[in-house]
């Protein structure tokens, strides 16, 4: 659904080299008995948080933090309880003070949703955006999606 | 942030003719003390659900229902507790078996977020998409955004 | 259900002199179409948070905070969407370093649930409990339930 | 905290013979950076749902279902992200049309919370309580807590 990004592999598990797994909770079900659409955004958040923690871009109470500027999610397939969902994370682009993550939610190898999130690096005190420094860029670069991923 | 849609007024309360108001809950706060980004999607869902209920497109247990195919949200401004958030809803487009809603989240007249959601009309039993019929289109048309909104 | 407390009026709106109102959200529904049981605890939390804010016992980032030690909730009646829920709050007892709130959730005047929560006053840094001081007690006393409420 | 129940082992992992494990999610954190108190009730719900599914007392869309009549939770210890929480479930008592589950939430072997929930067996259509039948009792009996657990 994102032909303009040149990343047709967003629905392919092979596109991702960072993974977390979440248990689907009873609490995630909607009134139709399927996993509700907000739970998908929670799974994406779990992937995002784990990625930021692993790469060192999120350190609790640190002077520099990340805020979400944009979230897109394409729902492709229902998820069911009980079960697990695998969340793959990659970096789609690195800007001056922001970066874009691409996430894939999978039931086994079947893609249940694709998400794109734009995060802005901010100063915790002033809440103003700050330029990503060299170290921060170096944390993200290994996960940057390439044409051949 | 959506120049291609020709709807620069998404952040203007005047663009919306259907409104709901939500109380910001303590439960909506994140670990920084601001309303967390998932709560924004809940407010958007509240607007969407009220709109579908009002227009008759959502009737509990009816043979035709709506599923979310896509959600985009642009975060523009923090929201705080205690307070209220006003959610405006309009129809951006009507397709064969889907329709797109545009939502604005406001703190007073200040736009806190803009959301776009694509909903697909489905048969509840088969879960397959179905074409919107004339009655369903007539429910949506009064809320369709126009160039001069 | 709490005959031992000598407060048979927990299900009577007249027992409460502090009130907040919450909108029932679509997000609060469970897979049976009723408000799910966790949403009841969120409504109780809304009442508790508003009460603590109003009485001055909760000030964000203050050196003394409250932590929940115990929560009891008796479910008496289903709640439905759309609708509102009224939450009444009163003080059941004041201890050395803790206090107990009684909450009633109402649909109009019909009691949907009764909750009891025990809060412990702590030092934010050490996380250790601290004795309630005279000012804090004075904040709670006006809302203390009495035999004739 | 429940000396009157004669079950001093509620905080001992050895008391439980049915277990589920949950991943603590970023979404479970509160504004102090700890797992919020509502997430504890979600973990308890996960244990309850898995137990009911395993014992056959919960079958989606079946004519007999369970509704929560009461929930008690004692908070004993903070939980942190990232991490996992183990939820133990046992049956505390079996009544005519209701049964009581005891749950323990553990971080490793350290008890983070103890919960007690009363569930009422109902007819899905009428929503009225029904007596537990012999089969249903037989599903619960193996997990019934005894003096020597």
Q: What is the helix (H) or strand (E) element at residue C137, kind and residue range?
A: helix C134-140
Tens of pLDDT, residues C7-28: 548 999 999 999 999 999 999 9
The residues near B37 (Cβ < 8 Å, ≥ 6 apart) are: A45, A68, A71, B30, B73, B75
The percentage of residues in chain D with a pLDDT greater than 70, rounded to a whole number, is 91
- Per the CB < 8 A criterion, the answer to whether D23 and A22 are in contact is yes
- Which chains are within 8 Å of A by 3+ CB pairs? B, C, D
The whole-number average pLDDT for the span D69-98 is: 96
C-beta atoms of A25 and D33 within 8 A: no
- What pLDDT score was predicted for residue B9? 86
Choose the mutation target among C25, C57, C124 for the interface with B, i.e. most B CBs under 10 Å. C25
C30 touches chain D (CB under 8 A): no
Q: Is the pLDDT of residue A117 over 70?
A: yes
Tokens of C85: 């829920």
Residue C5: per-residue pLDDT: 52
Which residues from C are below 8 Å from D41, CB to CB? 38, 41, 71
Q: Do D31 and B32 touch (CB under 8 A)?
A: yes
Distance from C-alpha of B112 to C-alpha of B76, rounded to nearest angstrom = 5
**Which residues of chain D are within 8 Å of residue A25 when distances are taken between CB atoms?**
22, 42, 45-46
Tell me the shortest Cα–Cα distance from C40 to chain B, in angstroms.
12
* Residue D60: closest C-alpha in chain A: A33
Q: State which H helix or E strand residue D136 sits in.
A: helix D134-140
Q: What is the pLDDT of residue B1?
A: 42
Taking CA–CA distances from C41, the nearest residue in chain D reads D38
What's the whole-number mean pLDDT along residues B46-70?
94
**Given pLDDT bands bounded at 50, 70 and 90, which one contains residue C146?**
confident
Mean pLDDT value of segment A44-48: 97
* pLDDT given for residue C32 in this prediction: 66
Could you tell me the pLDDT band of residue D6, with boundaries at 50, 70 and 90? low
- C30 part of contact set with chain A, CB < 8 Å: yes
Band of residue C93 on the pLDDT scale cut at 50, 70, 90: very high
Above 70 in pLDDT, residue D2? Answer: no
Residue that wins the pLDDT comparison between D67 and D146: D67
Decide: C21 and B44 in contact? Cβ < 8 Å.
no
Average pLDDT value over all residues in chain D: 91
Rg for chain C, CA atoms, rounded: 16
Degrees, nearest 5: CA angle B19-B24-B26: 165
B21 touches chain C (CB under 8 A): yes
- Residues of B with CB below 8 A from C42's CB? 25, 27
Check CB contact under 8 Å for A27 and D42. yes
Neighbour subunits, D (≥3 Cβ pairs < 8 A)? A, B, C
Q: What pLDDT does D126 receive?
A: 92
Q: How far is D2 from chain A (nearest CA, A)?
A: 27
SS3 B138: helix
- pLDDT-above-70 percentage for chain A: 91
Contact between B88 and B106 (Cβ < 8 Å): yes
For the record, the structure tokens of A60 come out as 């609790």
Q: Which residues of chain A are within 8 Å of residue C30 when distances are taken between CB atoms?
A: 29, 31
**Contacts A–D by Cβ distance under 8 A:** 41
Give the tens place of pLDDT for each residue, B80-135. Answer: 999 999 999 999 999 999 999 999 999 999 999 999 999 999 999 999 999 999 99
Closest residue to A69, CB basis, from B38, B42, B75:
B75
Q: Is B134 on the interface with D (CB under 8 A)?
A: no
Buried b (16+ CB within 10 A) or exposed e, C4-16: eeebebbbeeebb
Count of beta carbons in the 10 Å neighbourhood of residue D134: 7
Q: Does A61 touch chain C (CB under 8 A)?
A: no
Mean pLDDT score, C84-108: 98
Query: Which chain C residue has its CA at the smallest distance from D66's CA?
Result: C32
Q: Which residue of B has its CA nearest to D28?
A: B30
With H, G, I as helix, E, B as strand and everything else as coil, classify residue B123.
strand
Give the pLDDT mean for D25-41.
Answer: 87
Nearest-neighbour CA in chain C from B146: distance (Å): 28
Query: Has residue B4 got a pLDDT over 80?
Result: no
Is the pLDDT confidence value at B6 over 50?
yes
Q: What is the pLDDT of residue A9?
A: 86
Cα–chain-centroid distance for residue D148? Answer: 20
Q: What's the pLDDT score for residue B148? A: 53
Q: Which two tokens stand for residue D27?
A: 């979404």
Is the pLDDT reported for residue A30 higher than 80?
no
**DSSP labels for A92-126?**
EEE-SSEEEEEEEEEETTEEEEEEEEEEEEEETTT
Instruction: Give mean pLDDT, residues B69-87.
Output: 96
C120 token code pair:
């412990």
Residue in B with minimal Cα distance to C43: B25
Mean pLDDT of chain A: 91
Q: What is the mean pLDDT of residues D101-110?
A: 98
Query: Is the Cβ of D31 closer than 8 Å to some Cβ of chain B?
Result: yes
Residue C16 Cα, gap to closest chain B Cα (Å):
21
What's the CA gap between C28 and B95, in Å, rounded?
30
Q: Are strands C84-94 and C18-23 parallel, antiparallel or unpaired?
A: antiparallel
Lowest mean pLDDT among A87-96, B25-34, C19-28, C90-99: B25-34
Residue C62 Rama label (left phi>0; alpha psi -120 to 50; beta): beta
The pLDDT value given to residue D3 = 43
Which residues of C are less than 8 Å from D64 in CB distance? Answer: none
**Residue among D116, D146, D144 at smallest CA distance from D132:** D144
> A2 touching B, CB under 8 A?
no
Position C107 scores a pLDDT of 98
Note which residues in 62-101 of chain D have CB less than 8 A from chain B: none
Q: Smallest Cα–Cα separation from D33: which of D81, D104, D93, D102? A: D81
* Residue C14 sits at the chain A interface (C-beta within 8 Å): no
Q: Quick one: closest CA in A to D52, which residue? A: A26
Q: Average of pLDDT values for D60-70?
A: 93
Q: How many CB pairs under 8 A join C and D?
A: 50
Per DSSP (E only), the strands in B8-140 are 18-23, 64-75, 84-94, 98-107, 110-123
Q: Exposed/middle/buried for B149, CB within 10 Å: 0-12, 13-18, 19+? A: middle
pLDDT value at D117 more than 80: yes
pLDDT at D30: 77
Instruction: Give contacts of A33 with chain C, Cβ < 8 Å.
Output: 31
On whether any CB of chain A is under 8 Å from the CB of C33, the answer is yes
Q: How far is A113 from chain D (nearest CA, A)?
A: 19
Mean pLDDT lowest for which of B32-46, B80-94, D62-76, D104-118?
B32-46
Chain D partners within 8 Å of B30 (Cβ): 29, 31
- Token pair belonging to D79: 């939980």
Residues of B in contact with C23 (CB under 8 A): 21-23, 46
Can you tell me the ipTM of this complex? 0.90
- Is C114 a residue whose pLDDT tops 50? yes
Sign of CA dihedral C113, C51, D1, C125: positive
């Amino acid at each position: 659904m994102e032909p303009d990004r040149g990343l047709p592999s967003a629905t392919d598990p092979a596109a991702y080299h960072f993974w977390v797994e979440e248990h689907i909770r009873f609490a995630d079900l909607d009134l139709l008995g399927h996993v509700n659409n907000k739970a998908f955004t929670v799974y994406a958040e779990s992937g995002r948080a784990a990625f930021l923690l692993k790469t060192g871009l999120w350190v609790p109470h640190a002077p520099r933090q990340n805020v979400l500027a944009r979230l897109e999610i394409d729902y492709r397939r229902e998820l069911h309880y009980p079960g697990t969902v695998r969340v793959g994370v990659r970096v789609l682009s690195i800007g001056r003070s922001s970066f874009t993550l691409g996430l894939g939610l999978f039931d086994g190898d079947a893609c249940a949703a694709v998400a794109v999130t734009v995060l802005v690096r901010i100063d915790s005190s002033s809440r103003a955006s700050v330029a990503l420094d060299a170290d921060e860029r170096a944390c993200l670069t290994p996960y940057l999606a390439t044409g051949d991923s």
